[in-house]
Chains A and B, each alone.
Chain A
Amino acid sequence: MPATGRLTQRKLAPWLFLAPGLIMFMVYVIIPIFQSMWISFYDWDGLGEARWIGTANYVELVDDDAFYTALKNNVIWLVLYMLAVPAGLLIAIFLNQTITGMRLYKSLFFFPFVISQVVVGLMFSWFYAPNFGLFYSLIEWLTGSGVAILADDRYVTYGIIAAGLWPQIAYVMILYLTGLNNVAPDQVEAARLDGAKGWRMLWYVILPQLRPATFIAVVVTLLGALRSFDLVSIMTAGGPFGSSRVLSYYMFEQALSEYGYRMGYGAAIAVVLFAIMMIFISGFIWKMWRDETER
Chain B
Amino acid sequence: MVHLARGALALTAALLMTTAASAQQRVLTFTTDNNDPAPKAAWEQLVADFEAENPDVDVQMNIMDREAYKTAIRNFLTTDPPDVANWYPANRMAPFVSAGLFLDISDVYAENDLTTKLASTLPIVTQDGKQWMVPYTYYQWGMYFNRTVYDQVGATIPATWEEFLANCEKFKAAGIDCLTTGSSQLWPIAGIFDYLNLRTNGYEFHKALTNGEVAWTDDRVRATFAEWAKVLPYTTANHAAIDWQDAVPLIVQGKAANYVMGNFAVAAFKEGGMTDETLGFLPFPTINADVPRAEEAPTDAVFIPAGAKNVDDAKKFMAYVARADVQTKLNAALGQLPVNADATVGEDPFLKAGFEMLSTTPGGIAQFFDRDAPAEMAKVGMEGFQEFMVRPENLDAILDRLEKSRARIYQ
Residues of A whose CB lies within 8 Å of any CB of B are 45-48, 60, 65, 128-131, 148-153, 236-237, 239-242, 253, 256-262
Contact = CB atoms under 8 A, between A and B. Distances in A.
Contacts of B387: 153, 240-241
A253 B376 CA distance: 10
Contact of B240 (A131, A240, A253, A259): A240
B225 to A, nearest CB: 15
Nearest to A149: B241
Interface of B: 67, 70-71, 74, 78, 95-96, 98-101, 183-186, 237-242, 370, 375-376, 378-379, 383-384, 386-387, 390-391, 401, 408
Contacts of A60: 408
B99 A47 contact: yes
Nearest to B243: A237
27 contacts: A47-B74, A47-B95, A47-B96, A60-B408, A65-B401, A129-B241, A129-B242, A130-B237, A130-B242, A148-B241, A150-B241, A151-B239, A152-B240, A236-B184, A237-B185, A239-B183, A239-B240, A240-B183, A241-B383, A241-B390, A242-B383, A253-B379, A257-B71, A258-B70, A258-B71, A259-B370, A262-B376
Given A60-B408, A153-B391, A259-B378, A48 B239 contact: no
A148 B101 CA distance: 43
Given A60-B408, A239-B183, A257-B71, 13 more contacts: A45-B95, A45-B99, A48-B95, A48-B99, A151-B239, A152-B390, A236-B184, A237-B185, A240-B241, A241-B390, A242-B383, A258-B70, A258-B71
Contacts of A240: 183-184, 240-241, 386-387, 390
Contacts of A239: 183-184, 186, 240, 383, 386
A152 B74 CA distance: 33
A236 B184 CA distance: 7
Nearest to B242: A130
A151 to B, nearest CB: 4
Nearest to A241: B387
The 10 closest A-B pairs by CB, nearest first: A47-B99, A151-B241, A151-B240, A241-B387, A259-B379, A130-B238, A240-B240, A148-B238, A258-B70, A48-B99
Contacts of B100: 48
Contacts of B95: 45, 47-48, 261
Contacts of B101: 47
Contacts of A128: 241
B408 A130 contact: no
A265 to B, nearest CB: 9
Most buried by B among A45, A237, A240, A261: A240
Contacts of A48: 95, 98-100
A262 B376 CA distance: 9
Contacts of B98: 47-48
Nearest to A63: B404
A131 B98 CA distance: 46
B71 to A, nearest CB: 6
Nearest to B73: A258
Contacts of B376: 259, 261-262
Nearest to A242: B383
A240 B383 CA distance: 8
Contacts of B390: 151-153, 240-241
Nearest to B370: A259
